[in-house]
Amino acid sequence: MSDPDQSLSEISNGTKLRPGLGAETIYQLNAPSDLKVVSWAPGVLLGKTKSYAYDPENGGEAIIYIIENGIDKRNREFAWPPQDWLYAPSVSRTETDDDPLSHGSCVASKASGDKNGVSKTTQLVIVKSSLNVVDIAWAFQQIVNTAAKQNTPRVIVLLAATTKTSWHSGLFEDLRFSRLYLRMQNLINLGAVVVVPSGNYGERSLFVDTVPAVFASPSTTLGRPALPLIVAGTVDNKGAEASWSQTSPNPMIWAPGVRVACTKRGLKLRPTDTGTSFSAGMVAGLAAYFLGMKDPPFAIGGRDTSRNLINFFQTSASWARRPGERKVIWNRLDGSLMSLSNTSILPFPTVDASTY
């Protein structure tokens, strides 16, 4: 547990790498199919990516704040790095996932879980909160308070939830929404990156129409600056856009989100789930993977961090797996290659049914 005003440097002190992990590329042989997509390199045929390839040093300098109902801390998916926790006033101060559907555990495991996650060495800070607008605004303010004390541009905030009702201009007259917008804007101005889902309401509206994704669209912010949020949309494991995933005329980042493998509390099998929330989890993980490098491949610091990362994603860290489809995230490694050295292959153990 932590003080809400604890500094980012205090949270991030200490090594992020598990003992025994070096800088050599690791090939996760039993990675779920959706995770292998992230290291599916250009020119490689479908089905030839046999592992998830990643550099274990990448991501260690970053922190992901996830605003959720909690995660199942007991699950070994979250055994390393250790998490820190902040609590909204309305929730129980327990290190548990209080959502019956385990939404938080599933999303978090796609970002940085040991087996299912993109950036396995990035620390999570769980901002345990109900997912109403008032508590979410409170959560953003706590993160703003922390980030303001430390001029660090290596913070990712993952809010994998949307409102259910469509946005209309009158909602900015509601102080709850205007306050949330301002706190997200303040955080981005401090150099943080905010990742949100586009929404699952494609049958209702092709374009994003829910908070917070609408805050990235100039047409909906009524004279206020559109926020450079990283809005995540969903494709399947072959790179085809999901029909229900909403889109935007503004830049978006696309990731797997159809029957992705994740972690849920109390289940004895490795479950799957579907939705733009889980695409957002994977995008947040890859954002941390790049932002948490010792020398990130784009300029960081201040309000341009998010825009620079979006540009890097679009130009250098995504490609269309199918002609005419969306460009999908890529971590710039090739999971079809295997090192001849056994030290480069991390032999993850078989899933233990007692822990899933």
**What DSSP string describes 19-65?**
TT--SS-EEETT--HHHHHHT--TTPPTT---SEEE-TTTTTT-EEE
DSSP H helical ranges for 82-126: 103-112
Dihedral Cα 198, 199, 203, 205, nearest 10 deg: -60
Which helix (H) or strand (E) segment holds residue 158: the answer is strand 155-158
Instruction: Dig out the tokens for 332 from the structure.
Output: 């710039």
Angle in degrees, CA 354, 36, 77, rounded to 5 = 30
Which helix (H) or strand (E) segment holds residue 133: the answer is helix 133-149
CB 9 within 8 A of CB 150: yes
DSSP code for 219 = G
CB 321 within 8 A of CB 40: yes
Q: How many CA atoms does the CB half-sphere of 103 hold within 13 Å?
A: 21
Quick one: pLDDT at residue 268? 53
**Torsion sign over Cα 179, 282, 119, 100:** positive
Q: Which amino acid is at 246?
A: Q
Give pTM, 2 decimals.
Answer: 0.88
Query: Closest by alpha carbon to 310, among 224, 227, 229, 190?
Result: 229
Instruction: Dig out the tokens for 63 from the structure.
Output: 């922190």
The length of the chain in residues reads: 356
Tens place of pLDDT per residue across the chain (356 aa): 333 333 322 323 333 434 334 468 999 999 999 999 999 999 999 889 999 999 999 999 999 999 999 999 988 899 888 889 999 988 999 999 999 999 999 999 999 999 999 999 999 999 999 988 999 999 999 999 887 776 666 999 999 998 887 887 677 788 889 899 999 999 999 999 999 999 999 999 999 999 999 999 877 766 788 999 999 999 999 999 999 999 998 889 999 999 999 998 876 556 899 999 999 999 999 999 999 999 999 999 888 999 999 999 999 999 999 999 999 999 999 999 875 443 344 433 333 322 22
**What is the CB neighbour count within 10 angstroms for residue 145?**
12
Longest dimension (CA), the chain: 61
SS3 category, 86: strand
Where do we find the tokens 């199942």? 72
State the Cα–Cα distance between residues 40 and 53, nearest whole angstrom.
9
pLDDT in tens, 146-202: 877 766 669 999 999 988 878 876 777 888 898 999 999 999 999 999 999 999 999
Query: Closest by alpha carbon to 195, among 146, 241, 257?
Result: 257
Phi, psi of 68 (to 5 degrees): -155, 180
Quick one: pLDDT at residue 150? 67
CB 275 within 8 A of CB 119: no
Quick one: pLDDT at residue 353? 27
State the Cα–Cα distance between residues 179 and 205, nearest whole angstrom.
25
Instruction: Dig out the tokens for 202 from the structure.
Output: 């494609």
State the Cα–Cα distance between residues 29 and 344, nearest whole angstrom.
11
Say yes or no: domain 61-333 is CATH 3.30.420.40: no
Contacts 24+ apart (CB under 8 A), 320-324: 320/239, 321/37, 321/40, 321/46, 321/235, 321/238, 321/239, 322/238, 322/239, 322/240
